[in-house]
């Protein structure tokens, strides 16, 4: 998933600074606007995933800004305001705000409320899938496919393969592989490796007798190669 963009519309410079730092350090892209007019323009041009709107803008009443936004903007809008009166809260929510936070707010809570608002409508994020030749490996889902059908790998086989994939192109020594998959107490059980390398090759190579992905580096270890 690419970075999500949040538009901050607030005339108080310290608040904007705080929000910018907080949001950016949490992986959001931040756009800023100081006035209502600027805010509405930036909302149109940049189509942010979420808008943080201060009710107390200098050039226009916040409620009016929210109503204008809601004529076309469907993503979440969270109000941030010094006003804690019930009237302001009720009006804002009924005008289509998704949430209302009173300044000063706790940044942890703000971030949680942003996550909550963004969650709605967000389906599942795609996993990183490595694909090459007739193989596809989805590390997050723990799924390996060959010619589009799922291959069953045992725990040990999968650990080995995942190690290889994450270190594609590098030579992995016997000792390293044994330490990572079996643990530090198995450093000289190279025999285990031979057995499991053979099983992996049987499952993922087209011709296990002439492997193109899991290459033997005699006397050293093995290397995993992604051929295009």
Partner DNA sequence: ATTACCCATTATCAATATGTAACCAGCCTG
Partner DNA sequence: CAGGCTGGTTACATATTGATAATGGGTAAT
Cα–Cα distance, 38 to 177 (Å, whole number):
57
CB of 13 to a copy of itself, least distance (A): 25
Beta bridge partners, 77, equal: 51
By the rule CB under 7 A, 219 interacts with DNA: yes
- What SS3 string covers 72-88? CCCCCEEEEECCCCHHH
Q: Which of 71, 33, 37 is nearest to 52 (CA)?
A: 33
Q: Which stretch binds DNA (CB under 7 A): 49-57, 120-128, 134-142, 148-156?
A: 148-156
CB of 129 to a copy of itself, least distance (A): 11
CB of 219 to DNA, least distance (A): 5
In three-state secondary structure terms, 30 is strand
By the rule CB under 7 A, 218 interacts with DNA: yes
Q: Which is nearer to DNA, 167 or 173 (CB)?
A: 173
Cα–Cα distance, 137 to 132 (Å, whole number):
9
By the rule CB under 7 A, 191 interacts with DNA: yes
Task: Identify the sign of the CA torsion 54, 56, 58, 64.
Answer: positive
By the rule CB under 7 A, 190 interacts with DNA: yes
CB of 58 to a copy of itself, least distance (A): 26
By the rule CB under 7 A, 49 interacts with DNA: no
Side-by-side strand order, sheet with 171-173: 171-173, 221-224, 214-217
Binding site for DNA (CB under 7 A): 37-38, 41, 45, 152, 154-157, 174, 182, 189-192, 194-195, 197-198, 201, 208-209, 216-221
């Amino acid at each position: 998933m690419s970075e999500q963009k949040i538009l901050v519309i607030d005339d108080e410079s310290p608040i904007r600074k705080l929000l910018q730092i907080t949001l950016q350090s949490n992986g959001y892209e931040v756009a800023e606007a100081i006035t209502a007019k600027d805010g509405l323009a930036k909302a149109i041009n940049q189509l942010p995933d979420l808008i943080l709107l201060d009710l107390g803008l200098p050039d226009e009443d916040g409620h009016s800004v929210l109503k204008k936004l809601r004529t076309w903007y469907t993503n979440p809008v969270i109000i941030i305001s010094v006003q804690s009166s019930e009237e302001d809260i009720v009006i804002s929510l009924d005008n289509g705000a998704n949430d209302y936070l009173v300044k000063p707010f706790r940044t942890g809570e703000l971030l949680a409320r942003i996550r909550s608002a963004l969650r709605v409508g967000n389906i599942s994020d795609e996993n990183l899938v490595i694909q090459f030749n007739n193989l596809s490996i989805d590390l997050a889902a723990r799924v390996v496919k060959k010619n589009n059908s799922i291959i069953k790998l045992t725990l040990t086989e999968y650990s080995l393969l995942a190690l290889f994939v994450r270190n594609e192109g590098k030579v992995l020594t016997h000792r390293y592989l044994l330490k990572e998959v079996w643990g530090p107490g198995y450093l000289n059980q190279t025999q285990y490796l031979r057995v499991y390398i053979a099983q992996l090759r049987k499952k993922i190579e087209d011709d296990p007798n002439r492997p193109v992905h899991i290459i033997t580096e005699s006397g050293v270890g093995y290397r995993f190669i992604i051929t295009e």
